[in-house]
Structure 1
Amino acid sequence: MEAIKVSGLRKSYGKLEVLKGVDLSVASGSIFALLGSNGAGKTTLVRILSTLLKPDSGKANVSGFDVVAQPEQVREAISLTGQFAAVDGILTGRENLIMVAKLRQVKNPGQVADDLLKRFSLVEAGNRRAATYSGGMRRRLDIAMSLVGEPRVIFLDEPTTGLDPEARIEVWNEIQGLANSGTTVLLTTQYLDEAEKLADRIAILHQGTIIVSGTLAELRNLLPPAKAELVERQPTLEEIFLAVIGNKEALV
């Protein structure tokens, strides 16, 4: 079943055509990575799918609802996490979650907050002001806030931008956990290793159009077959960093 279906989507800002007929589909319960350089149109596409922008033409359905004709139903089914963590630094982590639960009119907001703090390993920090959190903790709290109300589809717009290697691994684990629990994730990123690590399917958005889409194996088949060569592989700087600080889980 398709959680997201886009056909012929176009969007311009004045004379600047940002989306030039985008087509894509995302299966329910999968992680779909949308790659593209700055200005490719990734954020514009996400803003249309989350009903924050209206397309000029084309069709887009999210969780079975048309984003233009049925925006309220779409909003009830989704959640959006932007490029920067949208947490209130004055409030504690628990208070942030309770606030969102009340806004979404969820029953037992305190229990919902406690369950999410436990799920995202933030129980010990739950009564601390969010301003004291590290970047990784703030992003985990941000994603936890996005899950209030159990949305069927979640949009993550470059969720690991600016995070250190440890924090990136933490966020990766949470994203994989979302998909494992049945949530559909559309992830935009500029980090190719992030898409390679997480995504079931990958699409490349370039100059306003999807130029290629498929699984990692399918995309590899677009290039000539690999040749077997004996090469001495040196560890990457990221592997060295994680090994030195003792994060063995990240190296698995």
Structure 2
Amino acid sequence: MDPNQRTTRLQADQALLQNLAANNAILRIESQNDPADRYVLTFRGKGLARDVTQPGEVSIVELHQVELRLPYAYPASPPDIRWMTPILHPNVSFSGFVNLTEMGLPWTPDIGLDVIVERLWDIARSAFVNLERATNYSAKNWYEDECKFQLPVDARPLRGAGNISPSNIVRYSHRAGEGVRWSSPAATGEVLFIDENTMPTSAALQHVPPRRRPPGGDDVFYIGPE
């Protein structure tokens, strides 16, 4: 990529993240260089991690930090992402590295950093869990067999629920056990973005509003709440 094009992209990404963090109680960002090519993201909210004071126990943690580096080949190459604080999640390796494909975001240069940051928060609060693409098998087994927490452990999306399109709402249903439990989308307004292999359950389909033919008998259908 032409250096000027890369600079323009870095500036655009920085503006996206600044806008996302503005007046946001969850997210804070620290950047390095001008234009920024390294960020430390701080999320303040509930997540899950092993309790260092009680070996084997999992507890709520309320601070998460993630390092995001943009390599020289960015955006042709994806960002490098590393979790810096303790977390228990199937899609975060023991050393803290995260693969975008396992986050349900196969890399293309069209993906903005704000989309990645939103997904990282969903990982932090266990709103996104991809058990089929796990890299941390200890965490995978725990989520399948031992998890007693209501997921997501933090109900707040990074953006306001009013900005979410209902057409993107799907519900994750784990097929191999009852360990992972998700709160009702109708109650929380949660959106769970899973990869292309995930099928919506019948519960999710119940939230699709019916179509109504308007008076007059023409071919226009209204799709929306009654």
TM-score range, shorter chain: under 0.3
Counting strand residues as a fraction of each chain, which structure ranks higher? 1
Q: TM-score, normalised by structure 1?
A: 0.24
Q: TM-score, normalised by structure 2?
A: 0.26
Q: Which has the higher contact order (CA 8 A, sep 6+)?
A: 1
Counting helix residues as a fraction of each chain, which structure ranks higher? 1
